[in-house]
Structure 1
Amino acid sequence: MKSADNGTGTTGAEVSRLGAAVRAEGFGLKGPRGWAFRGIDVDAAPGSLVALAGPSGSGRTCLLLALTGRMKAAEGYAEVGGVRLPRRMAAVRRFSALAHVPGVSDLDPAFTVAEHLREAALLRLRFSGSPLALLRPRGGRAAGNRRRMEAALEAAGLDLETLPKGERTSVRDLERLEALRLSVALALVGAPRLLAVDDTDLKLGDGEEAAAWSMLRSVADSGVTVLAVCTEVPDEADVVVRTTDAGAGAKGDGEGPEDGKAGAGEAAASDDAGEAASDDAREAASEGAGKAGEIRPEAEEPRRGEGGTGEDGKDGKDQDDKEGAADAIAETGRA
């Protein structure tokens, strides 16, 4: 196996050990209200920057969570870091990390930057570190945590001295790009092989968007495979996966219109299913369920006269129950 330098000071052999190759074929996930995505094919080498591109509601978040072992696919297969999905989801979760994923890995607005970093270091020690590390002197552990946090902050491009109150700055006072950098830094503290970022280009100006993609490009060049959800495909991406291409014909029978494009009604239905499944994804992943099918769809709004509230303020359902009871008494002849 060759170990040529990739231009970043990291050899090919080191990259293959650090990053996780991502491959998928016919990958699809179905939620309680339809297909979130379907027919996805991916072939990304370790250390790649993979753009999961598509409009909001096209199943991008579901695909992100499925490839990181947080949601269970319904058809096809994927292999991440040599681990087969959906069979071994827990194994993929052990070497992957979520940075910014709204509803799943949100930053606490009341926490300061220092508190978030300290929490990330403690969680790594508890769940990812070696048990022997607990036997090290406290001073040694603290020094190791500082080095790890400094390396993560440098990789994410977050300079604490530029923040309004330094490390004591609250998350609510961070700009959007600064919060994104902090999310990435927190994820990198655990030294993952696969990093997932949702809504990468959301609410960013042109300059900020370029800085965000430059950061993720640098992380990928260090050897970590990066999955990034976006609306517009960046020039920095090595691999582009378009969820709209897969969702265009994702009807119940798996066939689309003759011209290969969904009609207006079908596109709306696909968007609704994608948005619903994305909401289900965030709720399932945050609860540790990892299955979209465990989330029940919302109940329909009751209509007036059918269990709803009428103009006179009385509950229609209670009124129906009273009328039914009166009919039953009349039939039995009891007053």
Structure 2
Amino acid sequence: MAGSSLPRRALGRRLRGYRIRAEKSQLAAGLRVELSPQSIGRMEDGQKVKICTSQIRDLLDFYSVPEPGDERNEIFLLWQEVKDQALAAKLAGTTKGWWQAYTDQYEPHFDHYLGLEAVATHLTTHQVVLLPGLLQTANHRRALSLAGDPNVSAAGLERRLELAAYRQVRLADRNFRVDVLLSEAVLRSTPGGHAVAVEQLEHLLGLIGSRSNLSIRAIPLDSGSHLGLLAQSFTLLEFPPLASQLAEPPIVYVEGYEGGLYLERTDMIERHRRAIADLQRVALTEDDTKQLVQKIAKEYGA
């Protein structure tokens, strides 16, 4: 993938760690290799920045990373993966991720998320208000888009629906595992009115239990105390190992009205894993979830 590839993200995260360890600022690092501090920041965030091998080497010298040593070897293995991936994308004529054709239809922070979702092998999401985009019908998505931007053009709205449909293609990938934990409140939400809600609920009924790589379970409103009440909505993304066999750690994405947070610290990841375990403890089985969805659909369709 282009944009924020896994090797690029891993390289940036390690370079950030070495810079912080060396107590150097992004400004100082940029001056050392003739890049702006903003470029250093983008590189550390896993974004594409024009940089060469000699500049990478100069940064490692500036950060006092020992030579020779395992840390340097790891950096250059990742750098080689970044270059190999860029060359492969260029030869294939795909220098951008498919979602970047729709950048005019989503907030800037969501570009990074879409790049991560495109390469994740396991996604676990807990939602207390909104249905995940991977599960939304076109009419449900349309109602949400109009609520957020009543003045969106007809063409713009259709492009948003196209984007949602392209994202959902990944559900057919057996190597992409998706575990969805939904508050009952999400199932009872009615963007677009009862008719749209019934259509959405019937779509969920068709998905529950239909794919080996997809699990959808509801958290009843009367499920008592659990960590999901504190964690609120979040998505945990997990990734395959890199070609160099280096482990690529998971990331938690938390979306808010004003932007998104990307949490990578080990203690934060573990807290969210504990929340997931507690949510799974109180969640209905898929069969019981199906019964609840059927019950709500019957109420709204009456």
Q: TM-score, normalised by structure 2?
A: 0.30
**More contact order relative to length (CA 8 Å, sep ≥ 6):** 1
Specify the structure having the higher radius of gyration (Cα). Answer: 1
Higher helix share: 2
